[in-house]
Amino acid sequence: MGDNRRLVWVIVAVTVLFAAIDAAWLPFSTVSLDPRNLGVYLTSAAVLLAAYLFGKVILYRLRDDTSRGADRLRWAAKSLMTLVPVLAIFTALGCAGGIFSYLASATAAPLIDGHLAAIDAALGFHWPSFLETANGSPVLATALVIAYHSFGPQIVGLTLVYSAVHRVDRLLEFLALLAVSSAFTAALMALFPTAGAYAYFQPASEAFEAFTAKAGMWHYADLLKLRSGEPFNLLVWEAQGLVTFPSYHTVVAIMIVYSLRRVPHVVGPAAFLNAALIVGTMPEGGHYLIDVIAGGMVAVVSILAIRAITAPGQERYEPEQTPTPP
The per-residue pLDDT for range 164-173, each reduced to its tens digit, is 888 888 999 9
Q: Is residue 325 part of a domain?
A: no
Report the range out of 41-45, 69-73, 238-242, 299-303 with the highest average pLDDT: 299-303
Q: Please, what is the angle between helix 36-61 and helix 68-105, to 10°?
A: 160
Q: Is residue 319 part of a domain?
A: no
Residue 31: DSSP 8-state:
E
Q: What is the pTM of this model?
A: 0.88
How many structural domains comprise the chain? 1
Report the range out of 34-48, 114-128, 257-271 with the highest average pLDDT: 114-128
* Distance separating alpha carbons of residues 295 and 183, to the nearest angstrom: 13
List C-alpha distances in Å: 81 to 87, 111, 164, 166, 227: 10, 45, 10, 9, 42
pLDDT of residue 164: 82
Domain that holds residue 72: 2-314
pLDDT of residue 1: 56
Report pLDDT digits (tens) over 179-235: 999 999 999 999 999 999 999 999 998 999 999 988 989 999 999 999 998 999 998
Q: Is residue 251 part of a domain?
A: yes
Q: Is the model's pLDDT at 321 over the cut of 50?
A: no
pLDDT of residue 312: 53
Q: Is residue 321 part of a domain?
A: no
Q: Is residue 62 part of a domain?
A: yes
Confidence of residue 162 (pLDDT cuts 50, 70, 90): confident
Confidence of residue 317 (pLDDT cuts 50, 70, 90): very low
Q: Is the model's pLDDT at 323 over the cut of 50?
A: no
Q: Closest Cα to residue 274, out of 292, 252, 296?
A: 252
- Hey, which residues does 33 pair with through a beta bridge? 234
Q: Is residue 322 part of a domain?
A: no
Is there a contact between 259 and 158 (Cβ–Cβ < 8 Å)?
yes
Is there a contact between 138 and 210 (Cβ–Cβ < 8 Å)?
yes
Report pLDDT digits (tens) over 132-152: 999 999 999 999 999 999 999
pLDDT of residue 326: 54
Q: Is residue 324 part of a domain?
A: no
Q: Is residue 320 part of a domain?
A: no
State the Cα angle at 15 between 242 and 181, rounded to 5°. Answer: 55
Is there a contact between 135 and 141 (Cβ–Cβ < 8 Å)?
yes
Report pLDDT digits (tens) over 240-265: 888 899 999 999 999 999 999 988 88
State the Cα angle at 197 between 191 and 202, rounded to 5°. Answer: 130
